[in-house]
Structure 1
Amino acid sequence: MAESAPPGRDARILALIGTGHCLSHFYMLCLPPLFLVWREEFGVSFAELGLAVALMSGVTAALQTPVGFLVDRHGARPFLVGGILLMALSIAAMAASPGYWAILLLAIVSGVGNSVIHPADYVILGSAIDKSRIGRAFAVHTFTGNLGFAFGPPVIAAMLLVMDWRPALLILGLLGVPVAAAVFWQCRILPRTVKAKERAAGPTGRELLLSRPILLFFGFFLLSGMAGTAFQAFSIAVFGTLWGTPVAVASLALTGYMVGATGGVLVGGWFADRSTRHFAFIVGLTTTAAALMVAMGTVPMPEWMLPVVSLGAGLAMGASRTPRDVMLKDAVPPGEMGKVFGFVSSGLPLGQAVTPVPFGFLIDFGLAWLVMPAAAGLLMASLFCMGSAAGAARQARAARVVPAE
């Protein structure tokens, strides 16, 4: 671990890792704005077009854990360079797609490249960044990913105003090549990470992932991901159904939530580096977010107040994320971060996948008033997982300590 690394080197590492993370999220959301064009050109339905994004996300989630095993065994740096290149070149190759089937195949390839990003990034950050700055480093990493999500749709939409979709995708895809080259060129500033085969004897990778603390961390990620997805997907419909809120106001409330969640990440990183009371911080923030969600779904509010309350809920949710990541890092034995972060973080896309249908049914059956309390209930259930995970992790760390002779 780099315990006294200079801030300048940490900043260079964060710039490299953050740029790649931003690019990976950017590529995941640069395809939806092309749906109207592709529907006309390839003669396919919107459901078929949605399959391209679903395949990219699904492959990413499915491969994160096995890729994490490889990263732990062989080191993160070559996988990160290869993953960025694979993402970039697959997006660029879509510019030459002769048909819809080629788009699907290249979306799968892009998902394979994207599956490398989270395991490799967290291994590098955990090994390279000074311990006193690890919270802020994780926060910046999450923040750059959020920026990628935010920039993807408007950038491709703006490019379509001045050029055809094929050169637009070619340009955007080739942007990733210099990013991969920069990571490769600057590998000398990244210290050699601890590999799983070099760590002290302990549980196997499979045993570790199925251990009680790691499964509970996975549950926390899954449940909190479900709660956030419920709000993002259905808040506009719920506010309109319950309170007759105009779409413009409800959309502003959702925007406030997203802005708060993005900015809150940086607040959480600052706190994580200045306190060891991470769990207490998470409890307070998650409870606050849950209470505000319940309020928005059960108490009529003036139109001006709804975006303000929503901003507060997003800020609380976002600020809880970095202490969560630091707690997970502290629970992971040396040389195991890739597989653990790959496995646990896959709970977020899984939560995003399983949430929309049941919550959509609530609205269809006239139970829109249940959506926000149900989302809040998921958040509170996630706290139970986090508290149990923290206790189990402390017991596991104590068991790994060998008493002095």
Structure 2
Amino acid sequence: MAHAPAAPIGRDARILTLIGTGHFLSHFYLLCLPPLFLVWRDEFGVTYAELGLAVALMSAVTAVLQTPVGFLVDRYGARPFLVGGIVLMGVTIAGMAFAPGYWAILVLALLSGVGNSVIHPADYAILGSSIDKSRMGRAFAMHTFTGNLGFAVAPPVVAGMLLVMDWRQALLILGLIGVPVAFAILWQSRILQDQARPAKNDAQPSGRELLMSRPILLFFAFFLLSSMAGSAIQAFSITVLGKLWGTPVAIASFALTGYMAGGTAGTLVGGWFADRSTRHMPFIVVLTCFAAALLLAMGVLPMPEVMLPVVAFVAGLAMGASRTPRDVMLKEASPPGQMGKVFGFVSAGLPLGGAITPVPFGFLIDLGLAWLVFPAAAGLLILSLLCMGSAQGAAKRAMGVRAVPAE
């Protein structure tokens, strides 16, 4: 049987540019506040705990609202929510430029989190419906890449702006950038396709039944556990390497940068693979086990200092490459017309993992058990694989049941 010709690559590139720019901004806005903490501490007379609350509010609201927003995206379409979310993020960040006190910063951070909660469910619903299937892996990879890029450039950009202007001017400029981006998406929205609605006679589970089903809960657990492992490395690798091996802060920091850079580059490798093979699960298993082995080695084997950044980069590369096939598998497990709620719910495991990891791992270090941090992170990765394998099997069985026509 002849295959349908692929959609023009120029159209897919325009879609990715629009969605990727919005995703870049959402991540940029999440990390544009920490560089202002020193200024705000003097300006508003607040503690570092109170300053951290602004970022915590943005992340927590984003995580909590992703799932209900996903229901709305599936019901009413993704495009209006995407445009509205980007406008809300931009306006609230710009509004901080006029904050009379820190209480206003907190209120605006909360509202910015509301806008940010739209991004993942809306983006994946649009990409899954608009991008040619032969390029889906690379599209998901570029989506992840633009988000990581937003995280990476936010601190140095804001810090650089503070050298030449007041913090209020900087936030006003950065926030207002979101408005033309939203209007560009609105102007080009005709090329952004919403999900096809399932036929009325299709047997579809309710939203609650779907999200509480075994495959989706296992996918959530996989995202959560892998995020916990990555967050532990990001938060404590510099401290642990110093305590275990006396690694200088500069070398340990370079190793962490290598891990982060490898993860970002790896997403592109994973996207390339996902479009050229259907053997996603073996790819994920091999790379995750390889990454876990390298992280374990960093925690139990003394290495020459020059090797640490190299090993960390390769571990990050393996982890990053496994992410895109994971996203493609989740798309394939989503029933027609329900990608918004599925991706909204499952991807909430990523910020949740980052939120719950620092305290218990910090306790390990406080108790003199720093040597357990890297092995525990490796163990979380292996545990995540068990969830992923079970999720894939359960998803295949569920799709087989849905494929059986009702009598």
> Which TM-score band applies after superposition, normalised by the shorter structure?
over 0.9
Please, which moves more after superposition, 385-394 or 188-197?
188-197
Unaligned regions of 5+ residues in structure 1, if any?
none
- Is 1:163 aligned to 2:141, yes or no? no
- Is 1:300 aligned to 2:299, yes or no? no
Superposed CA offset, 1:61-95 (max 9, x none) = 00000000000000000000000000000000000
Please, which moves more after superposition, 196-205 or 282-291?
196-205
**Mapped partners of 1:4, 1:302: distance in 2:** 49
**Mapped partners of 1:78, 1:309: distance in 2:** 44
The residue aligned with 1:385 is 387
**Matched length:** 404
- Is 1:341 aligned to 2:343, yes or no? yes
The structure 2 residue matched to 1:193, chosen from 192, 195, 202, is 195
* Residue identity opposite 2:216 in structure 1: I
- Is 1:71 aligned to 2:69, yes or no? no
**Mapped partners of 2:217, 2:404: distance in 1:** 25
**Mapped partners of 2:52, 2:6: distance in 1:** 47
The residue aligned with 1:366 is 368
The residue aligned with 1:282 is 284
- Asked if structure 2 preserves the Cα contact closer than 8 Å seen for 1:226 and 1:354, the reply is yes
- Is 1:148 aligned to 2:164, yes or no? no
Classify 1:184/1:364 alpha carbon distance in 2 versus 1 (closer, same or farther; 3 Å). Answer: same
The residue aligned with 1:226 is 228
The residue aligned with 1:38 is 40
- Asked if structure 1 preserves the Cα contact closer than 8 Å seen for 2:79 and 2:189, the reply is yes
1:258-337 maps to which residues of 2 (within 5 A)?
A: 258-337=260-339
**Mapped partners of 1:3, 1:285: distance in 2:** 32
Displacement of 1:6 in angstroms is 1.1
Displacement of 1:189 in angstroms is 1.0
**Mapped partners of 1:282, 1:85: distance in 2:** 36
* Residue identity opposite 1:273 in structure 2: D
Superposed CA offset, 1:345-392 (max 9, x none) = 000111101100110111111111110000000000000000000000
Displacement of 1:404 in angstroms is 11
- Asked if structure 2 preserves the Cα contact closer than 8 Å seen for 1:264 and 1:315, the reply is yes
- Asked if structure 2 preserves the Cα contact closer than 8 Å seen for 1:196 and 1:336, the reply is no
Question: TM-score, structure 2 length as denominator?
Answer: 0.97
* Residue identity opposite 1:394 in structure 2: K
The residue aligned with 2:213 is 211
- Asked if structure 2 preserves the Cα contact closer than 8 Å seen for 1:198 and 1:335, the reply is no
- Asked if structure 2 preserves the Cα contact closer than 8 Å seen for 1:72 and 1:196, the reply is no
Displacement of 1:146 in angstroms is 0.3
The residue aligned with 1:398 is 400
**Mapped partners of 1:198, 1:182: distance in 2:** 34
**Mapped partners of 1:91, 1:229: distance in 2:** 26
Superposed CA offset, 1:151-198 (max 9, x none) = 111111000000000010000000001100000000111224224796
* Residue identity opposite 2:321 in structure 1: A
Identity across aligned pairs (percent)?
77
Question: TM-score, structure 1 length as denominator?
Answer: 0.98
| DSSP-derived class of the 2:247 partner | coil
**Mapped partners of 2:338, 2:184: distance in 1:** 26
RMSD of equivalent CA atoms: 1.4
Classify 1:195/1:101 alpha carbon distance in 2 versus 1 (closer, same or farther; 3 Å). Answer: farther
The structure 1 residue matched to 2:95, chosen from 88, 93, 96, is 93
Superposed CA offset, 1:206-242 (max 9, x none) = 0000000000000000000000001111100110000
- Asked if structure 1 preserves the Cα contact closer than 8 Å seen for 2:228 and 2:380, the reply is yes
Displacement of 1:5 in angstroms is 1.8
| DSSP-derived class of the 2:305 partner | coil
- Asked if structure 2 preserves the Cα contact closer than 8 Å seen for 1:74 and 1:195, the reply is no
| DSSP-derived class of the 2:377 partner | helix
Unaligned regions of 5+ residues in structure 2, if any?
none
**Mapped partners of 2:25, 2:51: distance in 1:** 22
- Asked if structure 2 preserves the Cα contact closer than 8 Å seen for 1:3 and 1:131, the reply is no
- Asked if structure 2 preserves the Cα contact closer than 8 Å seen for 1:129 and 1:137, the reply is yes
**Mapped partners of 2:264, 2:115: distance in 1:** 25
The residue aligned with 2:49 is 47
Classify 1:120/1:318 alpha carbon distance in 2 versus 1 (closer, same or farther; 3 Å). Answer: same
